[in-house]
Amino acid sequence: MSETQEEKRNYLNELRLKSTYLGGEERVKKQHDLGKYTARERIQKLLDPDTFIEFDKFVSHKCHQFEMEKKKFLGDGVVTGLGEINGQKVALYSQDFTCWGGALGAAHAQKICKIMDYALRNRVPIIGISDSGGARIQEGVESLGGYAEIFYRNVKCSGVIPQISLIMGPCAGGAVYSPAITDFVFMVEGSSYMFVTGPEVIKTVTHEEVTKEDLGGAKTHSEVSGISSVTCKNEDDCFERVRELLGFIPPHNFYKAEKKWTSDSVSRENSKLKSMIPDNPKKPYDMRDIITEIIDDGNFLEIQKDYAKNIIIGFSSIGGIKLGIVANQPAHLAGVLDIDSSVKAARFVRFCDAFDIPILTLVDVPGFLPGTQQEFGGIIKHGSKLLYAFSEATTPLITIITRKAYGGAYDVMASKHIRADVNLAYPSGEIAVMGAEGAVNIVFRKDLVGLEGKELEEKRAELVRSYEKEFANPYKAAELGYLDNIILPEETRGIVYKYLCSLKNKKHYFPKRKHGNIQL
């Protein structure tokens, strides 16, 4: 006798209910005791209410080794589907640590690949929530193959749709390479961990003793490795930061950007900027103060805030026009460019360019950091990455020199010579091969020979003043057409907005090629 419609309905509802149990009440309680949400709770808190559509709710593994056929969970340890964030459609997956510690098997990987393919076909951002101990050992090479399938899709999606990774627990072994390829990595203090090999393996192989936190915690990856884009206090804070990020970036490449709502007038008074840059060129100041003053509502989402602090990157808007900001930070290492800051800024520039987000560059740079550590570490190679990124960028580029722009660093920081669209400077701008004192010691070396004591100091001071008068200003560069205009600081917001409006239909093409060969 066949089942009735009512019986079929009851069976479906039974399966639906079973799939929500995750790994069982005990494991869910343990997850909560660790201050962590479950996979489904995370989706519910991240997405707009009642927008989630789940895929593959009833999928389970096909493994029969190690008595795995007796251990099955509906969904196979990962929840996948579609939803909306601030009305913007997104695709996402959320690994479930209550099922085998979130370990990835063949069916688990197939679910992730399926939702990534859907995201790419439909041009919506993909968000991955990682909480997994790594590959499911019982499934062997199928687990490894599953990871590779995900990595391949990460590369395929790169530059087409935004990819965002939320590390909500452990992310170890081969699993780390998927977040590494994605555009933004969010980590949570005290509960996020990323490492290729854990503390126990390291102790066995290299005899080093290190804790999980020191090896791959949020603090380590935000300050030392730079892997973390944004470090959050807790999971709720993380969801808010992700929602904020999606308010600044488009859902896919070739998307016609919409203005961000603001009540902040583009013509408002910026009188605070008049006194922000010190008269003494050696005195530091915080570039964030200038950024905050010129953007809409002081709303700046900084990326990699605690890594390579001598350069600032992040998203904001001016007059509702969304943009990326790259700025030297005179308050840290005098804003000098080094290996870490060059790589940090270069990847950000390439992301903005891939999604046609205009870039505002604020320049106060005394040059590249000297020393054997930098030279042996490859500052030549790594510094060229930022040069390459700006030179390759076809998105609107506006550059403002606020104070120093010395040596090769002047060229690299989106100068007119590498085809920035608009190059401006404040009257305090200094564009030269090097600072006055260093230049005098080289150029006027013969004039100082034979002088000693007070006479030497007076002559050197005179030559320094003469050099500063000639070069410690932006007018020579303006005379040569290397600057489009010299503006007063308080005019910045209104002028940048006008230029952004004029560049909205910019089109620029490079010679036909498969791709360039950036120094990696």
**373-410 pLDDT tens trace:** 999 999 999 999 999 999 999 999 999 999 999 999 99
Question: In the predicted model, is pLDDT for residue 156 greater than 60?
Answer: yes
User: Does 253 map to a domain?
Assistant: no
Active-site residue identified among 140, 174, 377, 438:
174
Residue 420 has what DSSP assignment? -
Cα gap 64→254, rounded to integer Å: 46
Do the bridges between strand 163-172 and strand 184-188 make them parallel or antiparallel, or are there none, so unpaired?
parallel
Among candidate residues 77, 111, 123, the one with its CA nearest the CA of residue 96: 77
The CA distance from 245 to 352, in Å, is: 13
What domain count does the chain have? 3
Q: Is 159 a catalytic residue?
A: no
Kindly state the percentage of the chain with pLDDT values over 90: 71
Q: Is residue 509 part of a domain?
A: no
Dmax of the chain from CA atoms?
Answer: 114
Average pLDDT, whole number, for the chain? Answer: 92
> Is 92 found in the same domain as 176?
yes
CB of 194 closer than 8 Å to CB of 174: no
- Residue 21 DSSP code: T
Which of 106, 107, 409, 477 is catalytic? The answer is: 409
- CA–CA separation, 77 and 39 (whole Å): 9
> Among residues 368, 250, 347, which one has the least CA distance to residue 303?
347
Closest-CA residue to 474 (of 421, 428, 410, 440): 428
Question: Out of 173, 324, 367, 435, which one is annotated catalytic?
Answer: 173
Contact 337, 310 (CB under 8 A): yes
Instruction: Indicate the pTM of the whole model.
Output: 0.94
pLDDT at residue 45 in the model:
97
**Residues of the chain by 3-state class (helix, strand, coil), percent to 5:** 45, 20, 35
Task: State how beta strands 78-85 and 53-55 pair.
Answer: antiparallel
Is the confidence at residue 265, as pLDDT, over 60?
yes
Rounded Cα gap, residues 229 and 10, in angstroms: 46
Place of tokens 């040596």: 407
CB atoms closer than 10 angstroms to residue 48: 14
453 is an active site residue: no
Asked if residue 422 and residue 318 are part of one domain, the reply reads yes
User: Is it the case that residue 38 has pLDDT exceeding 90?
Assistant: yes
Within a domain: residue 261?
A: no
Annotated active-site residue 174? The verdict is yes
Neighbours of 460 (CB within 10 A): 17
373 and 299 in a single domain? The answer is yes
The CATH number of the domain where 496 resides is what? Answer: 3.90.226.10
Are residues 459 and 495 both part of a single domain?
no
Q: Which of 247, 377, 408, 438 is catalytic?
A: 408
Residue 33 and residue 173 in one domain: yes
Note if 438 is an active site residue. no
- Does some domain include residue 411? yes
CA–CA separation, 315 and 334 (whole Å)? 23
Domain with 396 in it: 271-434+473-502
Residue 255 lies in a domain: no
pLDDT at 4 over 80: yes
Of 33-37, 348-352, 436-440, the one with minimum mean pLDDT is: 436-440
Residue 422 lies in a domain: yes
Rounded distance, CA 440 to CA 438, Å? Answer: 6
3-state DSSP assignment of residue 447? helix
CB contact at 8 A, 510 and 470: no
Average the pLDDT over 257-270 and give the result: 91
Same domain, 287 and 304: yes
Using only C-alpha atoms, the chain has a radius of gyration, in whole angstroms, of: 27
Question: Would you call 101 helix, strand, or coil by DSSP?
Answer: helix
The yes-or-no verdict on residue 1 having pLDDT over 60 is no
